[in-house]
Amino acid sequence: MELKDAILARVDIVELIGQYVSLRQAGREYKGRCPFHEEKAASFHVNPEKGVYHCFGCKAGGSVINFVMSVENLEFSDAMQWLASKYRIEVPRTAGERHAPGTKERLFELNDAALKFFRQSLKKAEGETARKYLSQRGISERLQSDFDLGYAPREWQALTDLLLAKGAKASELVQLGLIKQRKGDSPLEGGEGRGHYDAFRHRLIFPLHNVAGRVIGFAGRALSDEDPPKYLNVSTTPLYDKSGVLYNLNRARAVLRDEGAVIVEGYMDVIGLTGAGVDNAVATCGTALTERHVRLLARYTDHFFLAFDGDEAGARAAWSAGALFLRAGHAPRVVGLPAGVDPDDLVREHGREAWLGLLSEAVSVVRFWLDHQHAGRPDADLTEQRRWVAQLAPLYRAVPDVLVKQQLVREVASALRLGAAEVAALLEGQLAPSFGQAVRLKRNWKEQRGYDQRTLNALELYPREGQIVEQLLTEQELDKARRRTEARQYGMLRGAQALEREVTRRLLVKDDFRYIYLVMAEVEPVADWFADSQMRAIFEQLKAGCEPEQVIHAEEHMALCAELVNSEQLLDSQEQLLTRQRNEYYRRREVEISAELRRAIQQQDQERQAELFREIKRVKAEIRPLEGLATETGG
């Protein structure tokens, strides 16, 4: 019998899906709310007799294997492995076939035995040094258990002797990278295993898992300066290839679609971030990021954050990794860590809020590279800047996605105060990288020229010949708009989206709530409180006098409004919702102003710095506490 048939025969589809969905019996079937789309009615049906499920809303359906593929975001083979492991299903085979030396299942069993040995060693007296190190790094016992951390004793053959006594072959253990052959010894000299020794000794052990959660290899960190290298990883084995494995992906993949993927450099960075409540971090295993890693991550999310160490080596690694994502058609962002600080250091010393603050200020890879060039050459003239653009040209031409290429052009134009059309021409290789003297911008250029926003947008989209100076000036306004957009986007990542959905829902269905917002709009910039452009447009139409029914049935809003009206309701009172949304707006404003302040500091503009410090102080004063407000159920 094939593994697929064994799974379908053994796994109770109602019991499995019931772990994810609240099901109730309806005749011969079971019903519940679909886990794959938002709905109020129970359109998700499970038929235990046929062993299938089907959603009449989003049309999802299939067997237990299809369900696990969708809900756990796994490939077909990984989903079968996941189910087989969870329900302890083995493909019916003879005992000889099941335990035959060299088979993959046999190698998995040996890795599991090694993991058990390492974990037990960590808890014994001999693991005191490793436990002390983990305590100093702030790694709790819960985290040690969650990540299956272990310890490899100092003895030369502790693991070798244990596994050989259990019937393992030395050749199998060598295959897995758990033991090594002594130089000059024959494989058979002195009996089975006598010419071998443990690959990991006196090291903290990090098990490496595949996406289905099975142990495929190990890495070890030295606990003494006398035991180089600092990190030791198993080499390529029948189960493990470092170019296609990401540490913690088996745990993080469940949240990647909603939160994006944070790529860090080390195992301790992942564990430290997880301990601080950041569950979407992954790391490579002793190698630089590869194209396979990028393709693997792209199966789970479209949003990527590179958080490498804040030193020169980290900057080079971030640029190399970012270039891989760009060539694959993605637009990653770089988290700017302080010099000499890694993610684990940051959350241990400053907490999760500091991390979220840096994440909200992450910049595009190209902007990161250009800022790095500026830091090395703060006095660079326009000729030098155009050379930088020329250096980016090969990467630009390798980007397959048109929208990502357009964003890259805007980033370069904004960072260097150059015209978007000219930058595009340089990147396409249509202009030679040489230019005259840089244009000195006047301080009050906008007031002097009297441009309105429509004219500014027209300049950015359709630069006119002979208008390079105007185009350069426009980039100042565009730079501010970019920062506003980024702040709004990452505000939504921190939870503003659910809040805005509830506010918009109540604006459409509750007259008293709508009245409060419309009155408030006469004295405050309420439309700007909405980070989502469509919800902001809905509010502006209501403010202009449109009836809610008109907005709900407008073609451009019909789908969103139907979804909002039928969505789950937050329990905040009217005052709480208003205060929370207003606070989110001013927090976004603080992020925007902080970004301008960093630029002013970089440009040594003392007058602008003082102005921005005053503005940040004013904005912070606008954030109101929520304590003491009455609660009511949302209507």
470 or 207: which leads in pLDDT: 207
Structural domain contains residue 474: no
Which helix (H) or strand (E) element contains residue 209? strand 203-209
| 627: confidence class by pLDDT, cuts 50, 70, 90 | very low
Structural domain contains residue 331: yes
**Which residue has 């195992």 as its token pair?**
267
Residue 590, amino acid? E
447 or 186: which leads in pLDDT: 186
197 or 570: which leads in pLDDT: 197
Number of domains observed in the structure of the chain: 4
CA atoms within 13 A of residue 424's CA, in its CB half-sphere: 14
Let me know if 23 is exposed, middle or buried by CB neighbors in 10 A (0-12, 13-18, 19+): buried
Residue 565 CA to residue 567 CA, distance in Å, equals: 6
Structural domain contains residue 41: yes
558 and 499 in one domain?
yes
Per residue in 24-39, pLDDT tens? 898 889 999 888 887 7
State yes or no: pLDDT of 633 exceeds 70: no
Range of the domain at 165: 96-240
**Boundary residue ending a domain (179, 210, 240):** 240
Q: How many CB atoms lie within 10 A of CB 617?
A: 10
229 and 105 in one domain?
yes
Q: What percent of the chain has pLDDT over 90?
A: 37
pLDDT at position 454 is 40
State yes or no: pLDDT of 630 exceeds 80: no
Structural domain contains residue 448: no
199 and 286 in one domain?
no
Q: What is the mean pLDDT of residues 239-266?
A: 91
State yes or no: pLDDT of 12 exceeds 50: yes
**Boundary residue ending a domain (318, 340, 367):** 367
| 436: confidence class by pLDDT, cuts 50, 70, 90 | very low
Per residue in 116-128, pLDDT tens? 999 999 999 999 9
- Answer yes or no: pTM beyond 0.75: no
State yes or no: pLDDT of 611 exceeds 60: yes
162 and 128 in one domain?
yes
| 102: confidence class by pLDDT, cuts 50, 70, 90 | low
286 and 172 in one domain?
no
State yes or no: pLDDT of 95 exceeds 60: no
Residue 308 CA to residue 49 CA, distance in Å, equals: 51
519 and 610 in one domain?
yes
- Rg (C-alpha) for the chain, rounded Å, is 29
Provide the CATH number for the domain around residue 165.
3.90.980.10
**Boundary residue ending a domain (198, 222, 240):** 240
| 451: confidence class by pLDDT, cuts 50, 70, 90 | very low
Q: What is the mean pLDDT of residues 136-143?
A: 93
Structural domain contains residue 616: yes
Give the E-state strand segments of 259-320 in sequence order: 261-264, 281-284, 304-306
Shortest CA distance to 314 belongs to which of 350, 289, 349, 280? Answer: 289
Contacts 24+ apart (CB under 8 A), 381-386: 381/437, 381/438, 382/418, 382/435, 382/436, 382/437, 382/438, 382/439, 383/434, 383/435, 385/416, 385/418, 386/418, 386/426, 386/433, 386/434, 386/435
State yes or no: pLDDT of 281 exceeds 90: yes
Structural domain contains residue 400: no
| 398: confidence class by pLDDT, cuts 50, 70, 90 | very high
pLDDT at position 154 is 93
pLDDT at position 135 is 94
State yes or no: pLDDT of 240 exceeds 90: yes
**What tokens does 252 get?**
């993080």
229 and 109 in one domain?
yes
Q: What is the mean pLDDT of residues 387-403?
A: 90
* Inter-residue contact 10 to 89 (CB < 8 Å): yes
| 430: confidence class by pLDDT, cuts 50, 70, 90 | low
Residue 368 CA to residue 374 CA, distance in Å, equals: 10
Query: Mean of the per-residue pLDDT values for the chain?
Result: 81
322 and 258 in one domain?
yes
151 and 184 in one domain?
yes
- Report the range of poorest mean pLDDT among 16-30, 179-193, 312-326, 576-590: 179-193
599 or 631: which leads in pLDDT: 599
124 and 37 in one domain?
no
State yes or no: pLDDT of 576 exceeds 60: yes
Structural domain contains residue 423: no
pLDDT at position 2 is 78
pLDDT at position 13 is 94
Q: What is the mean pLDDT of residues 153-169?
A: 94
* Inter-residue contact 582 to 632 (CB < 8 Å): no
253 and 231 in one domain?
no
Provide the CATH number for the domain around residue 68.
3.90.580.10
Per residue in 535-553, pLDDT tens? 899 999 999 999 988 888 8
552 and 527 in one domain?
yes
Q: Which of helix, strand or coil describes residue 44? A: strand
pLDDT at position 331 is 92
Structural domain contains residue 375: no
State yes or no: pLDDT of 494 exceeds 50: no
| 387: confidence class by pLDDT, cuts 50, 70, 90 | confident
Q: What is the mean pLDDT of residues 485-505?
A: 63
| 222: confidence class by pLDDT, cuts 50, 70, 90 | very high
pLDDT at position 173 is 95
Per residue in 315-374, pLDDT tens? 899 999 999 999 999 999 999 888 888 899 999 988 888 999 999 889 999 999 998 888
